Amino acid sequence: MIVESKKTLNIAIAGTGYVGLCTGVCMAHTGHYVTCVDIDEKKIDLMQSGKSPIYEEGLEELMNLNKERLTYTTNYTNAYQNADIIFIGVGTPEKKDGSANLSYVYNVARQIAHNVIKDCVVVIKSTVPIGTNDKIENFIKSELINPVNIHVASNPEFLAQGTAIRDTLHASRIVIGVESEHSENILKQAYEGFKDVPIVVTNRRSAEMIKYASNDFLALKISYINEIANLCELIGADIQEVTKGMGYDERIGDKFLNAGIGYGGSCFPKDTKALHWLASFHDYEIKTIKAAIEVNEQQKIKLFKKSRKYYESLEGLTVAVLGLTFKPGTDDLREAPSLVNVPLFVDDGARVKVWDPVGSEAFKNAMEREHNSDLNEKVEYCNEIGEALKDTDICFIFTEWPEIKALRPKDFDNMKGLIVLDGRNCYDVNLFSGTNIKYESIGRSLLG
C-alpha cells in the first residue's frame, strides 16, 4: 500500500531516463513536490504535455495523476536552489575499457555546487563505482559558491525495465548508504510513503557495492543457466524440466533461470564490465564475472550458429526476425541480441524482415547510426507478424513479446522454409509435434 508521506519535501531529480523519471514520478505519488531536470528541451516539452519519453507501463498514467506535484524543466538553477534533496539519476555509460563514464554525474555535481543556496542532501541513484560518493562529496564541497552544508548519500535503484513503476513503489528493499545521521533521517522522510518496504541502512561504499553485487549475481545466474542449457542440448536433457527441479530449492529460487540467448539492457552488461574493470584496476580478477561476460557474448549468436544446420550460409535467403528489444515491456534496445544478429544476417547475404511492437523505429535509428544506410536498405520493417513471416526461409525469435508467444504452428504456414529458431523458449516443444515445422529452442529437445 502506498500512502502520502507525512512531511512534504521539495525534491529535484537530475536526469529523466528510466531511473530519474520513475523515481521522480513515484516520489510525487507519495506526496512530495518534485522537479525533474533535463538538458533535452524536446523531452521536457513532451513531459510537460503529459507524455512520457520512454515506453514504460503505468508511467504516463502516474505522470498525469500527480501532475500538480510534478514540474519538468531545463532550468537546473531554480530546481537546485529550492531542493531539500537532489537525486542524481543521469547515465553512467560504459567506456571502451569497460569502466563507467562518470562525466554526467560530475557535470550535475558541479551545477549543484554552483547553485545551491540552502543545506541539502545530494543522493546518487546512478550506478557508480565503489568510492564515487566520497569523491562527489569532496568535489561538491570544493566547488561550493555559497556557505551551505551538503551531505552526499548513496541510494541505488533496483528497478527493471518493463516493471519499473511497480519495482519502485513496491521495492524489494530500499538501500540507503550514508555517513551522517542527517542524511539517513532525510532519506527516511523521503521514503516514508513507501509502506511495507524494508530499508537497509549502510555506509556509502557498502551501498554502492550492493548495487553491483546484486546485478552481477543475477547476470551470473543467467549465464550459468544458459551454459547448463547448452549442455542439456548435447546430452538430451530438457532445461525447463531441470530449472523446475532446481527452483523448488529456496536456496536457489526460480527467478532468472530462464534459458535463452543472453541478457541485455542498460544494467547487466554495463555493470558486469564495470565491476570486472574495477577489480582489474586493483590488480584483482573476479573470475566468475569475467566468465559471465564471455558466456553472454557467445550466447547472443547461438541461433545464428544453429542456422548452419539448415543452410551453409544465408546468402540469397529471406530471414524473419521477431522481437528487437532486449526484453518485452520496454522499447530499450541496449545490448539486445538483435543488434548483433541482424547485421550478421545481412553480412551473410540475407534480406531481413523484422517485427517488434514498439522497438522498430529505435532499431532503425540504431542501425543507421552504428552501421550505414546500406544495411537498412536490406531490412524491411513490418507492421504485422504475418507480414514479417511471409515467404521467409527461416525465422529467428529474439524477444518473448506476448504477441509472439501467442503464435501457433498455423501462423508460420506462410513461410517458404518452415524453420523456427526460438531464442526465448516461447513455446511448448510438443506444440510442433506432427507438423512440418523444424523448431529449435534453447536447451530442449530438437523437433522436426
User: Which grid coordinates are listed for 236?
Assistant: 538430451
Same domain, yes or no: 193 and 251: no
Cross-strand bridge partners of residue 150: 120
Sheet of 120-124, strand order = 70-73, 33-37, 10-14, 85-88, 120-124, 150-154, 174-177, 199-202
| 29, 116: one domain | yes
- Residues 36 and 122 both lie in one domain: yes
Nearest to 310 by CA among 417, 390, 431: 417
Instruction: Please report whether residue 379 resides in a domain.
Output: yes
Under a CB-based contact definition with an 8 Å cutoff, are residues 27 and 4 in contact? no
- Answer yes or no: is 207 within a domain: no
Of 299, 325, 352, the residue that ends a domain is 299
The SS3 of residue 61 is: helix
User: Within a domain: residue 33?
Assistant: yes
pTM of the model: 0.89
Query: What is the model's pLDDT at position 370?
Result: 83
* pLDDT (0 to 100) of residue 96: 86
Q: What is the DSSP string of 18-42?
A: HHHHHHHHHHHHTT-EEEEE-S-HH
What's the number of domains the chain is made of?
3
The Cα 134–Cα 186 span in angstroms is: 19
321: in domain: yes
Are 429 and 367 within 8 A, CB to CB? Answer: no
Catalytic positions: 267
Q: Which of 208, 304, 318, 327 is nearest to 258 (CA)?
A: 327
Residues 39, 15 share a domain: yes
Tell whether the torsion through CA atoms of 302, 308, 309 and 315 is positive or negative. Answer: positive
What's residue 448's pLDDT? Answer: 42
Q: Residue 243's domain is classified under what CATH number?
A: 1.10.1040.10
Contacts of residue 309, Cβ cutoff 8 Å, sequence gap at least 6: none
pLDDT of 265 reads 84
Q: Are residues 383 and 434 in the same domain?
A: yes
Which of these three, 247, 274, 299, is where a domain ends? 299
Domain that holds residue 352: 302-440
Q: Which residues of the chain have pLDDT under 70?
A: 1-6, 373, 446-448
Q: Considering the domain boundaries, does residue 109 fall inside one?
A: yes
CA 53, 55, 58, 61 dihedral sign is: positive
Which of 321, 174, 329 shows the shortest CA–CA distance to 265? Answer: 329
What CATH number is given to the structural domain containing 310? Answer: 3.40.50.720
Spell out the residues 6+ positions from residue 159 whose beta carbon is closer than 8 angstroms to its own: 18, 19, 22, 167, 168
Q: Which residues of 155-190 are buried (b: 16+ CB within 10 A; e: fewer)?
A: bbbbbbbbbbbebbbebeebbbbbbeeebbebbebb
Judgement on whether residues 349 and 406 belong to the same structural domain of the protein: yes
The answer as to whether 116 is a domain residue is: yes
* Residues 317-373 pLDDT 10s: 999 999 999 999 888 898 999 999 999 999 999 999 999 999 999 999 999 888 876
Where helices occur in 179-312 by DSSP H, the ranges are 181-190, 204-235, 239-247, 268-281, 287-299, 302-307
Report pLDDT for 91: 92
